[in-house]
Amino acid sequence: MVAAKEESRNFGHNAGTVTLILSSLAGGEKHGYSLVKDVEKFAGVHIAPGTLYEALARLEKLKFIEPVESDDRRRPYRLTANGATALANQLRAQRRAVNVGLKRLDGGGLIA
């Protein structure tokens, strides 16, 4: 639990963006632009370039992702084992929160 909390803190104030980026990279290595397009497709969220590269730099520093050698100017990134573990823990924590929220809404008769 303590380790999970520590990992969650590593996600920083852009936890939402970081989760989306890691989730996208869980599907395979991608460069910045294809990552943004993938996130738009599965989450309907557009990540602005400055926000994207702030998050990528942070994730690279944390060794959650790593750059892949490329001849192209657009450098692809891939998820590391540490990143996969952190993402799994973050998503589990979010699922717990979602389940509790939905159960309470359901129990209170607030949703149809």
Partner 1 sequence: MSSSENARRAHRLTKFYPTAWRQRYGEEFEAHMEQDIEETPHSLSRSLNVMMKGFGTHAKNLTWRILLLEPSQGKLRNSRVLPTVLVLGFALSIALRGSNVGTPWPALILFGVLYALFLFGYVYDTRKIRTVGPSKRFSMDRNIMTGIIILNSGVILLQNAIGHRTLVLYTVLVLDVVLFSVRFGWIRRKREPVRNPLIPVVQGKTKS
Block residue for tokens 């809404």: 105
* 45 is a site residue for partner 1 (CB under 8 A): no
By CB under 8 A, residue 48 contacts partner 1 = yes
3-state secondary structure the chain: CHHHHHHHHHCCCCHHHHHHHHHHHCCCCECHHHHHHHHHHHHCCCCCHHHHHHHHHHHHHCCCEEECCCCCCCCCEEECHHHHHHHHHHHHHHHHHHHHHHHHHHHCCCCC
Given 3, 28, 53, 104, the residue binding partner 1 (CB under 8 A): 53
If we measure between CA atoms, which residue out of 64, 95, 62, 69 comes closest to residue 81?
Answer: 64
Nearest-approach distance from CB 51 to partner 1, in angstroms: 6
Minimum distance between the CB of residue 87 and partner 1, rounded to whole angstroms? 22
CB closer to partner 1, 2 vs 110: 2
> For partner 1, which stretch binds (CB under 8 A), given 1-9, 26-34, 83-91, 102-110?
26-34
- Give least dist CB 32 to partner 1, A: 4
> Where do we find the tokens 């910045």?
32
Among 56, 59, 65, 79, binds partner 1 (CB under 8 A): 56
Binding site for partner 1 (CB under 8 A): 31-33, 36, 48-54, 56-57, 72-75
